[in-house]
Amino acid sequence: MYILEKAPAKINLTLDVLYKRPDQFHEIAMVMTTVDLADRLEFFLLDKDRIEISSENRFVPNDERNLAYRAAKLLKERYHIKQGVRILIDKQIPVAAGLAGGSSDAAATLRGLNRLWKLHLPMETLAELGSEVGSDVSFCVYDSTALAEGRGELITELPAPPHCWVVLAKPVQGVSTQSVYQSLNLENLNHPDTEGMIEAIRSGDYYGVCDRLKNVLETVTLPKNPEVEQIKQQMLRSGADAVLMSGSGPTVFGLVQQESRADRIYNSLRGFCEEVYVVRLLGTHQTLD
């Protein structure tokens, strides 16, 4: 028996950091949604009581450094599962890109093993478990559009934003999320209009969404990585309606309504970076056929 799960990339429509908490995590508020760039995970029962991770991508670890491994281990230990599992990860989301690829894999693992091991856990329980694996995993469990608060584990689901095309561009140089947060100056931040973004989504106002894209982590990543700013400006010159860095970076995304304009932006970026994608915005859970 085996199970298939899709693990889509996420983008931040807003990312706000409010303050540093006593537990040293940052209190955040961010509106996130999903795009049609996804890893594909396959889950196979094993006779032996162990977790095996396999991927052709050399950047995907096969031990506890892998969030999917941690998610599987957490489920096994919490619910005393004696069956083993082999997890095949077809990696399509760039690594260390600000697109939550590892978190989405972990969330897909929770959903997939919930089915494979017939645990019948509700999504709310899977999301709670996800918060023990990583900050973005709870959001990724729902695989939709949501406001994430706390340190990312408090999820309020939202409708999908208006349909559009998304151009993603990832520079070669990676970014450390931890170092970005450590370098963030919490004084005098220009905070996103989170409530305005939520209202624009609820009312299906595409240009309202575009007008409210904002990510406070750009104040750290952009000065240290000028190529990120260059990509943003190139997208705008090529006709993107709005452009933002996702997460802590370095991936930048641009929103457009016309596929022809998305293709034009794609072609204009090929000289700037090798990893460029044109995808549709999803915003709701997608199942594999």
pLDDT digits (tens, 9 = 90+) for 103-112: 999 999 999 9
pTM for the full predicted model? 0.94
Between 24 and 66, the higher pLDDT residue: 66
| pLDDT at residue 49, rounded to an integer | 94
Which residues are annotated as part of the binding site?
Answer: 94-104
Q: How confident is the model at residue 286 (pLDDT cuts 50, 70, 90)?
A: low
Give the pLDDT mean for 94-98.
88
Asked if pLDDT for residue 142 goes beyond 90, the answer is yes
**Position 195: which residue type?**
E
* Of 215 and 61, more confident: 215
Helix (H, G, I), strand (E, B) or coil at 266: helix
The interaxial angle of helices 67-78 and 101-116, nearest 10 deg, is 30
Query: What integer pLDDT is reported at residue 188 of this predicted model?
Result: 86
Q: What's the CA gap between 137 and 244, in Å, rounded?
A: 22
What pLDDT shows up at residue 178? 87
Instruction: Indicate the Cα dihedral angle 152, 147, 59, 66, nearest 10°.
Output: 40
Binding site for ATP: what residues are annotated?
Answer: 94-104
Q: Which residue has the tokens 């957490």?
A: 74
Question: 41 is written with which tokens?
Answer: 């995970």
Instruction: Flag whether pLDDT at 289 surpasses 60.
Output: no
Give the pLDDT of residue 175: 83
Q: What is the pLDDT of residue 248?
A: 93
> Is the pLDDT score of 274 beyond 90?
no
The pLDDT, as a whole number, for residue 172 is 86
Question: Taking a C-beta distance cutoff of 8 angstroms, is the pair 17, 216 a contact?
Answer: yes
Q: Which residue has the higher pLDDT, 145 or 283?
A: 145
> Kindly report the CA angle at 196 between 181 and 246, in degrees rounded to 5?
35
What's the mean pLDDT when you consider all of the chain?
94
Say how far apart CA 154 and CA 132 lie, in whole Å. 12
What's the pLDDT at 153? 92
260 vs 270, which has greater pLDDT?
260
Report residue 42 as tokens: 């396959």
Per-residue pLDDT, 287 = 61
Q: How confident is the model at residue 132 (pLDDT cuts 50, 70, 90)?
A: very high
165's CB contacts (< 8 A; 6+ apart) are 255, 256, 257, 258, 259, 261, 262, 278, 279, 280, 281
Residue 276 contacts residue 266 (beta carbons within 8 Å): yes
pLDDT of residue 126 exceeding 90 = yes
- What type of residue is 115? R
pLDDT at 281 over 90: yes
Q: How far apart are CA 70 and CA 51, in angstroms?
A: 10
What residues are annotated to the active site?
Answer: 10, 136
pLDDT in the model for residue 95: 87
Q: What is the C-alpha to C-alpha distance for residues 17 and 15, in angstroms, rounded to an integer?
A: 7
Q: In this predicted model, what pLDDT tens digit does every residue of 223-266 receive, in sequence order?
A: 999 999 999 999 999 999 999 999 999 999 999 999 999 999 99
Residues 32, 246: Cα–Cα separation, whole Å? 9
Is residue 59 very low, low, confident or very high in pLDDT (cuts 50, 70, 90)? confident
288 has a pLDDT exceeding 60: no
Token duo for residue 27? 């209190």
- The pLDDT score that the predictor gives to residue 116 is 97
Structure tokens at 260: 């022809």
Average pLDDT score over residue span 171-188: 89
Rounded Cα–Cα distance for residues 152 and 190 (Å) = 20
CA atoms of 110 and 112, how far apart (whole Å): 6
Measuring CA to CA, which residue among 35, 1, 34, 6 is closest to residue 109?
A: 6
